[in-house]
Structure 1
Amino acid sequence: MIDARQEVLDGDRFAFGGNWRAFVELVDERRIKAAVDSLAGPLGTTDLTGRTFLDAGCGSGLFSLAAHRMGARVRSFDYDPESVAATVVLRDRFAPDADWKISTGSILDEEGVAGLGRFDIVYSWGVLHHTGELWRAMDNAARLVAPDGLLFISIYNDQGMESRMWRRVKRQYNRSGALARRLLVLGSAAYLYRGKPLRTALRMVRGGDATLMRPPRARGMSARHDLVDWVGGYPFEVAKPEQVFAFMRERGFELRHLKTCAGGIGCNEYVFERVSGAPARG
């Protein structure tokens, strides 16, 4: 099985972990609070004491840390070793004595997934559409949810031709050299922020909100790192909300929360509950 580093070298995968390893240097209490708030609203609680939380594709580890702050027992894994390293950095810096296990693994690894057990909350925000096998990844994530448990995911919205255009941009980014990548990021910023002053696009490229004077973005993220993740994020798949609803309903889940990107190119956010007694696959 090809590993993440080899896929990056082959131009078949964005270096997600390298981007998040840089991002963790910006994490502070403001960003942690924003991440906690982004979990608490959709989950309907600020208290996860006694509950198990799986961060499948943990990226920077920020939301694992947020779940820990809310009282959960946390397990994190990611396919990219650099993401695992970033998560370890956050744990060691902010929660060295936490009940929080971190490992390398893939949501597409059937045997590995089966060995994890089931969790009260499975969180995989902006991850499953980057595996190259979205629907198999979603099915495997659903299998990890305990009865009456929650699956908290986000999936890129299907925008038809525009989504296909961005897929080509992302593919080109990962097969280009450093200069071409910078130009693609700058051009994408100009396109995404068209109609706004040029300084807005330049700010996204140069640093976004990564200053003490500006509040963090929603979910505690960084505008610049999000921009690079968007332009380079490959593999890349999309889905319409009705496809996601139908897929999860067949597996015994009911929708508890939905936040759409209002028809845009971002992610639709879902929280599903595995309903006790409902027919489920896996």
Structure 2
Amino acid sequence: MIDCETEISQGRRFAFGQNWHQFGQLVDEERITSARRSLELALGTTDLTGRTFLDIGCGSGLFSLAAVRMGARVRSFDYDPDSVRTTQKLREEFAPDTDWSVCCASILDPDFVKRQGKADIVYSWGVLHHTGSLWKAMDAACGLVAPGGTLFVSIYNDQGLESRVWTEVKRRYNQSGPLARRLLLSGSVLYLSRNYPARALLNVARGRGPASGAVPRARGMSRKHDLVDWVGGYPFEVATPEEVFSFCRERAFELRHLKTCRGGLGCNEFVFTLGARADG
């Protein structure tokens, strides 16, 4: 199995961990609070005391930390070593004496998955579509949910031809040098500026202005880092809400919460509960 750093050097994968490392330096109590509130809203509770929370593709570790703050016992893992290091640093800074483990692993590694116990909440926001094998990753994630437990995932929306074009942009970004990447980023900004002032988005790309990352977005995120993640995020797969719903329903999951991107660019967010049929 080719490792993450080799895939990045070969232009086959975006350096998600480097982007998360930069974002991790912005994490503060305001962003943690925003992340926690988004979890509370989707999960329908403010208290996870005594519950296990598995974070697949933990990125910066922000949402693992939010779950810890809600009382959960947390296990986090990510395929990218830089993401793991960033999450470990966040744990050391904000939650050093808590029940929170972090390791480097892939959801596509069947041996690793077999060693994992079931979790009350399996969380993977904006991750499974970057594995290179979306439905295999979804199946593995579903298999890690305890009976009666919760699956919380977000998957990029399928926009048909536009999604295919973005796939090519992302592929070229990762196979290009610094100058070509800047051009692709600027071109993408101009395209995305159809519904947003072009000058403001260009400032975001350059790390300037109030929208560049200093002011938290929804979920405590950063517009600048989300933009770079969007343009460079490869591998890249998409699915319609109906496809995700049908896939999970076949595995005895019942939809509890849905937040779509209204047919546009971005992620559709799903919260499922594993129903009684899962026991047999």
TM-score over 0.5 for the pair: yes
Instruction: Say yes or no: does 1:210 pair with 2:213.
Output: yes
Native 8 Å contact 1:167 1:236 kept in 2: yes
Structure 1 residue 195, shift from structure 2 partner: 4.7
CA shift, 1:103, in A, is 0.3
* Aligned residue runs from structure 1 range 145-156, under 5 A: 145-156=145-156
Residues of 2 paired with 1:156 and 1:9: CA distance? 25
Shift of 1:279: 6.3
Q: Percent identity?
A: 66
Aligned residue for 1:61? 61
Contact 2:257–2:271 (CA under 8 A) maintained in structure 1: yes
Distance 1:238 1:2 in 2: 23
Amino acid of the structure 2 residue aligned with 1:163? S
Name the CA distance, whole Å, in 2 between partners of 1:255 and 1:195.
Answer: 31
3-state DSSP of counterpart to 1:268? strand
> Post-superposition shift, 1:276?
2.1
Aligned 1:15-54 pairs, distance under 5 A: 15-54=15-54
Partner of 1:267: 267
CA distance in 2, matches of 1:204, 1:259: 26
1-side partners of 2:253 and 2:99: how far apart?
A: 28
TM-score normalised by the chain length of structure 2: 0.97
Asked whether the equivalents of residues 213 and 225 of structure 2 are also in contact (C-alpha less than 8 Å), the reply is: no
Q: CA deviation at 1:204?
A: 1.7
Gaps of 5+ in 1: none
Relative to the length of structure 1, the TM-score reads 0.96
CA distance in 1 between partners of 2:116 and 2:195 (Å): 47
1:109-258 equivalences under 5 Å are 109-207=109-207, 208-211=211-214, 214=215, 216-258=216-258
Unaligned runs of 5+ in 2: none
- Code of the residue aligned with 1:135 in structure 2: it is W
Structure 1 partner of 2:101: 101
CA-based RMSD of the aligned residues comes to 1.1
| Distance in structure 1 (CA, Å) of the matches to 2:197 and 2:101 | 45
* Number of residue equivalences: 277
Code of the aligned partner of 2:151: L
The alpha-carbon deviation at position 184 of structure 1 amounts to 1.0
- Pairwise CA distance, 1:197: 2.8
Task: Quickly say closer, same or farther: Cα 1:69–1:195, change in 2 above 3 A.
Answer: closer
Q: What is the identity, as a one-letter code, of the residue corresponding to 1:186?
A: S
User: How far did residue 194 of structure 1 move?
Assistant: 2.1
Tell me the equivalent position of 2:72.
72
Residues 1:204 and 1:47: Cα distance change in structure 2 (over 3 Å): same
Q: Is the 8 A contact 1:252 1:279 kept in 2?
A: no
Residue by residue over 1:205-256, the C-alpha shift from the partner in whole angstroms, topping out at 9 and shown as x without a partner, is 1223423xx3x10110000000000000000000011111111011110000
State the distance in 2 between where 1:18 and 1:204 align.
Answer: 18
